[in-house]
Amino acid sequence: MSERDEIMGRIYAALQVPAPRPGSHDRTIKGKGAGGKSASDFQPFLPEAGESDAEQIEHFRARCAELKTDLHLVSSPDEARMVLGEIAGAEKWKRVATHNGTLTDTAINRLGLPVLNTTNGYDVNELELCDAGITECDALIAQTGSIVVTSRDSGGRALSVLPPHHVVLARRWQLVRDLSVGLECVHNKYKADYPSMISVVTGPSRTGDIERILVLGAHGPKKLSIICW
């Protein structure tokens, strides 16, 4: 018998005796079978995110401020390019990395800096030398101030985490209410053919491992900028 059969056999045997339902340790209720809950069952218990678009934008802005995410809500692609240029100047970027994408392509062209494009493969040592990774994202989440990046549509696994500054270019319509909707978006977008990595990123990399004191930029980016129009 294979180890798989051994383990599965022990599981079958163990589950012959039903366990008490949570919150009712005094009595046993036989389970109805696999099914579970849907997100709408617990959504009303979770932290709020605002109902209207304006409320959700405010929520997102407040979460970003708490998390020390550098958020720029602008009104046009031109303004977004300008903001990106200003950040590049202020941070004295010499070299940036990005991937192919409708938002990234136009923004990068005007930056006038050497660019490493990760879309068709790259040398990891060169990526390590870049001052910033500029990516798109799949969703912005009002409830938590998060962005969702994937290995397929955000330039791979490393681009959004290896360079010391991660810049996300996004559109306002990408802002969703909460984590449930964000995950649903990803689910609907990719169906069964999902990317090998999907990451919910909430603020710049951080640690509290030394005396529970917050330090930004533990291993991932020290700075996270979101430019959204």
Partner 1 sequence: MVNSANQFKIDARRVAADLRHRGLIQTAFGKYEVARDAKKSAFQDWQSARQASAEIKWDAINHLDQYLQSLVAKLEARGTKVHWASTAEQAREIILGIIKQKNARSVIKSKTMTAEEIHLNEAMEQAGYDVVESDLGEFIVQLRNEPPYHIVFPAMHLTRGDISELFQRELGSAPTNSPEELAMIARRVLRKKYLTADIGITGANFAIAETGMISITENEGNARLTAAMPKTMVTLLGIEKILPKLSDLALFLPLLATAGAGQTITCYNTLYGGPRQSDECDGPQEWHVVLLDNHRTELLADAEQRDALHCIRCGACLNVCPIFRNVGGHTYGTTYSGPIGGVITPHLRGLQDWKHLSMASSLCGACTETCPVKIDLHHHLLQNRRNAVKEKPALFERLAYKMFGFIARKPALWLLAKKLGRIIQPLQKVVKGSVLDPAKSWTQTRDLPPVAKTSFKEWWRQHQ
Task: Tell which positions 27-46 bind partner 1, by CB under 8 A.
Answer: 28, 31, 33-39, 41-46
Quick check: 133 binds partner 1 (CB under 8 A)?
no
Quick check: 142 binds partner 1 (CB under 8 A)?
no
Segment holding 105, helix H or strand E? helix 102-109
Quick check: 15 binds partner 1 (CB under 8 A)?
yes
Quick check: 51 binds partner 1 (CB under 8 A)?
no
Minimum distance from residue 86 beta carbon to partner 1 (Å)? 25
Tell me the window of 11-19, 78-86, 103-111, 131-139 that interacts with partner 1 (CB under 8 A): 11-19
Quick check: 114 binds partner 1 (CB under 8 A)?
no
Tell me the window of 77-85, 86-94, 108-116, 120-128 that interacts with partner 1 (CB under 8 A): 120-128
- The DSSP bridge pattern shows strands 206-207 and 139-141 to be unpaired
DSSP state of 135: E
Q: Residue 82 or residue 158: which is nearer to partner 1 going by CB?
A: 158
Quick check: 220 binds partner 1 (CB under 8 A)?
yes
Beta bridge partners of 139: 148
CA-to-CA separations, 23 to 16, 31, 45, in angstroms, rounded: 21, 14, 17
Quick check: 194 binds partner 1 (CB under 8 A)?
yes
d(CA 131, CA 173): 28
CA-to-CA separations, 168 to 13, 28, 73, 107, 130, in angstroms, rounded: 50, 50, 12, 11, 16
Minimum distance from residue 75 beta carbon to partner 1 (Å)? 29
Minimum distance from residue 140 beta carbon to partner 1 (Å)? 14
In the shown chain, the binding pattern of residues 73 to 112 toward partner 1, with x for contact by CB under 8 A and - for none, equals --------------------------x-------------
Q: Which of 180, 156, 153, 174 is nearest to 227 (CA)?
A: 174
Provide the residue type at 10 as one letter: R
Q: Which of 104, 171, 101 is nearest to 132 (CA)?
A: 104
Question: What SS3 class is residue 150?
Answer: strand
Quick check: 211 binds partner 1 (CB under 8 A)?
yes
Task: Tell which positions 159-188 bind partner 1, by CB under 8 A.
Answer: 161-162, 178-180, 182-184, 187
Minimum distance from residue 8 beta carbon to partner 1 (Å)? 6
CA-to-CA separations, 75 to 79, 80, 86, 149, 183, in angstroms, rounded: 7, 8, 16, 23, 27
